[in-house]
Structure 1
Amino acid sequence: MTAQSTKSDIPALQRIRDDVQSMHAYAVQDARGLIKLDAMENPYALPPMLQEALGRRLGQLAINRYPGDRGADLVRALANHAGLPEGFSLMLGNGSDELISLLAMACDLPGAAILAPVPGFVMYAMSAQLQGLRFVGVPLSADFELDEAAMLAAIEKENPAIVYLAYPNNPTANLWDDESIERIVMAQGRQGGLVVIDEAYQPFASKSYIERMARHQHVLLMRTLSKFGLAGIRLGYLMGPQALIAEVDKVRPPYNVSVLNCETALFALEHADVFAEQAAAIRKERDVVESALDRLGVQRWPSQANMVLIRVRDAGKTFEGMKERGVLIKNVSKMHPLLANCLRLTVGTTDENRQMLAALEQSL
Structure 2
Amino acid sequence: MISERIKNLSPYKTEVTPASVRLSSNEFPYDFPEEIKQKISEEVKKIPLNKYPDPTAEELKEVLSQFLGVSPQNMVLGNGSDELIYYLSIAIGEVYLPVYIPVPTFPMYEISAKVLGRPVISVPLEENFDINLEESLKRIDEEKPVLGYFAYPNNPTGNLFSRKKIEKIREKGVFCVIDEAYYNYSGESFIGEALERDDTVILRTLSKIGMASLRIGILVGKEEIVREIDKVRLPFNITYPSQVIAKVILKEGRDFLEEKIKEVIRERERMYSSMKEIDVVEVFPSRANFLLFRTPLPAREVYKRLLEKDVLVRDVSYMPGLSRCLRVSVGKPEENDKFLEALYESLKEV
Q: Does residue 1:151 correspond to 2:151, yes or no? A: no
Map of 1:29-68 to 2, 5 A cutoff? 29-68=15-54
Match of 1:324 in 2: 308
Q: Does residue 1:335 correspond to 2:319, yes or no? A: yes
Q: Does residue 1:310 correspond to 2:293, yes or no? A: yes
- Which one of 209, 217, 220 corresponds to residue 236 of structure 1? 217
Map of 1:13-28 to 2, 5 A cutoff? 15-28=1-14
Match of 1:184 in 2: 169
- Aligned-partner Cα distance in 1 for 2:167–2:77: 26
- CA separation of 1:54 and 1:243: change in aligned 2, threshold 3 A: same
Amino acid at match of 1:177: S
Match of 1:257 in 2: 238
Q: Does residue 1:220 correspond to 2:201, yes or no? A: yes
Map of 1:97-176 to 2, 5 A cutoff? 97-107=82-92, 109-176=94-161
SS in 2 for 1:249: helix
- Aligned-partner Cα distance in 2 for 1:153–1:78: 40
Match of 1:202 in 2: 183
- Aligned-partner Cα distance in 1 for 2:311–2:33: 25
TM-superposed CA distance for 1:108, in Å, is 5.9
- Aligned-partner Cα distance in 2 for 1:281–1:182: 33
SS in 2 for 1:236: strand
Structure 1 unaligned runs (5+)?
1-14
Q: 1:266-313: per-residue Cα shift (whole Å, max 9, x none)?
A: 112112221111111100100110010011132111100000000111
Match of 1:93 in 2: 78
Structure 2 unaligned runs (5+)?
none
SS in 1 for 2:246: helix
- CA separation of 1:69 and 1:234: change in aligned 2, threshold 3 A: closer
- Aligned-partner Cα distance in 1 for 2:242–2:118: 31
Amino acid at match of 2:302: T
TM-superposed CA distance for 1:87, in Å, is 10
TM-score by length of 1: 0.90
- Aligned-partner Cα distance in 2 for 1:206–1:290: 19
Amino acid at match of 2:181: A
SS in 2 for 1:81: helix
- Aligned-partner Cα distance in 2 for 1:146–1:70: 37
SS in 1 for 2:24: coil
Q: What is the number of residues matched between the two proteins?
A: 344
Is the 2:194–2:222 Cα contact (8 Å) retained in structure 1? no
Paired-residue identity, %:
33
- CA separation of 1:109 and 1:69: change in aligned 2, threshold 3 A: closer
Is the 2:61–2:72 Cα contact (8 Å) retained in structure 1? no
Is the 2:62–2:72 Cα contact (8 Å) retained in structure 1? no
- Aligned-partner Cα distance in 2 for 1:279–1:151: 34
- Aligned-partner Cα distance in 2 for 1:88–1:61: 26
TM-superposed CA distance for 1:215, in Å, is 4.4
TM-superposed CA distance for 1:171, in Å, is 0.3
- CA separation of 1:334 and 1:87: change in aligned 2, threshold 3 A: closer
TM-superposed CA distance for 1:331, in Å, is 0.4
Q: Does residue 1:279 correspond to 2:264, yes or no? A: no
TM-superposed CA distance for 1:29, in Å, is 2.2
SS in 2 for 1:237: strand
Is the 1:128–1:134 Cα contact (8 Å) retained in structure 2? yes
Map of 1:68-87 to 2, 5 A cutoff? 68=54, 71-84=57-70
- Aligned-partner Cα distance in 2 for 1:69–1:140: 40
TM-score by length of 2: 0.94
Q: 1:44-98: per-residue Cα shift (whole Å, max 9, x none)?
A: 00111111111111111112111127711212222221122x7961010000000
- Aligned-partner Cα distance in 2 for 1:87–1:268: 18
